[in-house]
Structure 1
């Protein structure tokens, strides 16, 4: 994909809503879209058999590390140097048993050195690739990182030993997003006496390792505490949008990595039963058809008395004029809102979990066009029609709903953001605690289905 991006805008079709003039070039065929949230129980990929590379020893499987390989003194010495310098990545050298490795090197090559070096290298791979923080300290983190399958530990170790570039193999696991490097630079510049700031930097560096190492060439990323959404191409922000996110508590927005499969223009809104029954809306709609029509509601009562209420498309619809179709078990999505004045608030944790987006129709048209689901003219016509229309996209777009309390803002400046959900404390505590050797890839935390995103405030 070329470095220059032709996204000139046409004259506004709706107030504050714009569509792109031209499309992005086709994505590279080698691009891998991160998988949607689903458990992946894949084990380490079998290593190739080749006489030119180091072969693993035949040992019983162990939960601590994937394989024990043969280490000579030179490679082990390079590993020791990597451990001693790993603080630059926000990790703690003490976690990787440097003194035990030093003693094993002094004792000479053999099984003891092989075991100690393999163990230390494996732990470094896991922490650089997956993050050091165990899953139970990642509150409402439902992203499944694909990197353990793309970069299996045994394969990384084998290639490192074959090339002799131990440090390079470990560096090749670091996140590629520029924000990770910005945090790394900030850590290097922060005095060791500034413990709190250093710990916050380390925590947010680790959060980047919880995501896929490479987010792709084109994606949406929203940082919940910043109340901002970015459309990013080749790590460059081409659009940014203010957002409204979930209120603290059970309606806090969870962290997800999903995929936009389509754009819904002029959406309907099926009112949840917590409002239909709990707030009496169902009886009001059925009993007062004139009021229901005036407010865009249609209600039906089944033979068993069950009432269903659907709000029809229109300017007063609670989802506004669009929502992004990104199926997930949490029922979280990005959508418009009729209460656009709220985007002027500084503190915008106001919703029931879903993410409301300013200039939502511009965003919808852009994705529909870039995803080749519609031309510019077709997108404008569909949006203007006032009719419910789902536009599928053939070129899907990843969406990352993240939570960084220190990150570059939309202007590229490194800033801290309020920890609106209190999610820093468990991460900071985990970084201070001894390293957890056996960690899950998926959380067992409660999945809270967001059933109600209607807010009048």
Structure 2
């Protein structure tokens, strides 16, 4: 059996190393058919009338959000500053081009009224001058910010910890100068749209949607793409938590799809992250959290019975200060399974295998303590090691079968995006809706029903960091 398994893996991985990145042949796992979007959507709350600011407001204190599980927020609430818009000279022709872009912005899921088209039109009739420069510059920056970074205010992005680099790569002053100096306002604005194919599919859906609830959901999910980097990289893993699927992607083409197990709703919900895989670990060990070592009495039980510890694959050590450290050794019963993708982050989230592979057959797989368990994780890890660390396929097989802890450092950048899309493409290529398992849609949809808020220098959620390092 071992020889057959070795030959099978070696053949599969040689094929992967030669052709997967070029072929882009997604695995089509069995899924349910498309779901009616309107059945899952909820009506957005009516907007609360407030005055729309026309200039940079004074410093705003960020309001800490609370997750559905009642996650505690930090004791010290940071103060986030609105960013004053830069200024440029506007010709009447460029201002008219901006006005046309504002009037047509519904196609991108945004609201023309947010960008004061009537005020701009009135100022255009008065001709060039300081007043037109000030107004057009401010409205251009507002529109550019929403296209580049998303319209949804940070407090409405529950557990959003994926910092978008786009405002660093394309700052407001640079965009404004480019638009006015090249006299290509629509081109500069269009260059900010997400490049991922799903954004274009959502945009097409929006053009055909009639139901207000459906429109609200599509707009919210279009905005979620803006929260991410416009250029997501040449190769990356992307996990859509509501779909409970993981995709290996090269040049925005899906190479392989894997079912995933994600965090249970509540305190163990999986946060939204943008990280990098640093190591592929074959036959990982697992250091058991103190919540289990102490809270569930595992440490004392194993110290009292070395035979039990050995039989269950644990090494329990009593430290000089009286604490107990428990490490589960590599093997078939290890809670991390046979492989782990190490992606260091403050939440202690990573991707790993599991000995309970039967759970991947379940239609609802929000079962973990936050980490991502991947179906066919050995295949995924070996592929990552081959493509991301130039590991020969035969060596990957040897490492996997050795039974020994082996860490393979990645030599090529490999991003991981943990996302939350409730309207997206499924594994069969069909656009459909997915259950809002963490109740994150409502704040986003509600924010679109309110007047636009000024962008601040806040880059991610200020909710408390909860380390979710228990794979059980």
What's the TM-score once normalised by structure 2's chain length? 0.84
- 1:18-59 CA distances to partner (integer Å, 9 max, x unpaired)? 53535379x9xxxxxxxxxxxxxxxxxxxxxxxxxxxxxxxx
Does the residue aligned with 2:413 lie in a helix, a strand or coil? strand
Aligned counterpart, 2:9: 13
Task: Map Cα deviations across residues 248-291 of structure 1 (whole Å, 9 max, x no partner).
Answer: 00100000000011100000000011111111101111111111
Q: Which residue of 1 aligns with 2:95?
A: 76
CA distance in 1, matches of 2:367, 2:220: 26
Q: 2:202 aligned with 1:190, yes or no?
A: no
Aligned residue for 2:292?
275
Change (3 A) 1:372 1:303: closer
8 Å Cα contact 1:65-1:118 kept in structure 2:
no
Match of 2:453 in 1: 436
- 1:202 partnered with 2:196: no
Residue in 2 that maps onto 1:449: 467
Residue 20 to residue 154, structure 1, CA distance change in 2 (3 Å): farther
Q: Which has the higher contact order (CA 8 A, sep 6+)?
A: 2
1:377-400 Cα deviation digits (max 9, x unpaired): 111001000000101111121000
Match of 1:38 in 2: none
Q: Is the 8 A contact 2:241 2:421 kept in 1?
A: yes
Q: Which 10-residue stretch deviates more, 288-297 or 243-252?
A: 288-297
Q: SS in structure 1 opposite 2:325?
A: strand
The 4+ residue runs of structure 1 with deviation greater than 6 A are none
* Preserved CA contact (<8 Å) 1:20 1:366: no
Deviates more, 1:332-341 or 1:410-419: 410-419
- How far 1:445 moved relative to its partner? 1.2
Q: Which runs of 5+ in 1 are unaligned?
A: 1-9, 28-61
Query: What SS class does the counterpart of residue 219 from structure 1 fall into?
Result: strand
In 2, Cα distance between equivalents of 1:64 and 1:103:
26
Deviation at 1:371, TM superposition (A): 1.3
Inter-partner Cα distance in structure 1 for 2:235 and 2:352:
20
Instruction: Kindly state the Cα deviation for residue 235 of structure 1 after the two structures are TM-superposed.
Output: 1.3
Of 127, 131, 141, the match for 1:108 = 127
Per-residue displacement from partner, 1:86-114 (whole Å, max 9, x unpaired)? 00000000000111101110111100000
Q: How many residues align?
A: 406
Report the 3-state secondary structure (helix = DSSP H, G, I; strand = E; otherwise coil) of the residue aligned with 1:263: strand
SS of the equivalent of 2:8 reads: coil
**1:202–1:415 distance in 2 versus 1, CA, 3 Å:** same
Q: How does 1:366-445 map to 2 (within 5 A)?
A: 366-439=383-456, 440-445=458-463
Q: CA RMSD in A?
A: 1.7
**Counterpart for residue 36 of structure 1:** none
Structure 2 unaligned blocks of 5 or more? 1-5, 22-80
1:197-241 deviation per Cα after TM superposition (whole angstroms, max 9, x unaligned): 000000000000000001111111010010100001111111000
CA contact (8 A) 1:371 1:393 kept: yes
Shift of 1:340: 0.2
User: Do 1:269 and 1:317's aligned partners in 2 also have CA atoms closer than 8 Å?
Assistant: yes
**Correspondent of 1:180 among 199, 221, 234:** 199
Q: 2:282 aligns with which of 265, 269, 273?
A: 265
Report what 1:122 is aligned to.
141
Measured in 2, the distance between the counterparts of 1:24 and 1:184 equals 35
Measured after TM superposition, the shift of residue 441 of structure 1 is 1.6
Distance in 2 separating the partners of 1:250 and 1:20 = 42
The Cα offsets for residues 126-148 of structure 1, whole Å up to 9 and x where unpaired, read as 00000000110000010100000
Structure 2 Cα separation of the partners of residues 347 and 289 of structure 1: 38
In the alignment, is the contact (CA less than 8 A) between 1:18 and 1:361 conserved in 2? no
| SS at structure 2 position matched to 1:212 | coil
Tell me the secondary structure at the aligned position of residue 117 of structure 1: helix
Quote the residue 1:291 is aligned against: 308
SS at match of 2:414: strand
Quick one: distance in 1 between partners of 2:204 and 2:150? 18
SS in structure 2 opposite 1:78? Answer: helix
CA 1:20–1:89 in 2, change beyond 3 Å: closer, same or farther? farther
* Cα distance in 1 between the residues matched to 2:345 and 2:83: 33
